[in-house]
Amino acid sequence: MSEQTSQLPPRISLMASGELRDALTAVDEGNGAMAVAALMAIDAESWKAIEQRLVTVVGSDLRTLLLKAAGEPAEKATALA
């Protein structure tokens, strides 16, 4: 039974999806501290699922996506990694 569950892709919990929404809203409002707090509240399994989906859907990670949305060059995301 444990072999089946270990092969399932990670899932985004309902709480994590709300935290991600809050983080993106905080970024939009220019509240960096609130965005960081919301991102830090996301559990590890949900974070893995979010990362996988971002790469699949937009081809990059959250940092790159946020920097592009803010008008920063993509090289800055790589330099900060």
pLDDT in tens, 8-48: 889 999 999 999 999 999 988 999 999 999 999 999 999 99
What span, in angstroms and rounded, lies between the C-alpha atoms of 28 and 4?
40
Please report, for residues 5, 10, 53, 69, 80, the alpha-carbon distance to residue 66 in angstroms, rounded to integers and kept in the order given: 32, 23, 15, 5, 13
- At residue 15, the pLDDT reads 98
CB 19 within 8 A of CB 42: yes
- At residue 59, the pLDDT reads 81
Closest by CA position to 18, among listed 36, 38, 37: 38
Q: How many residues does the chain have?
A: 81
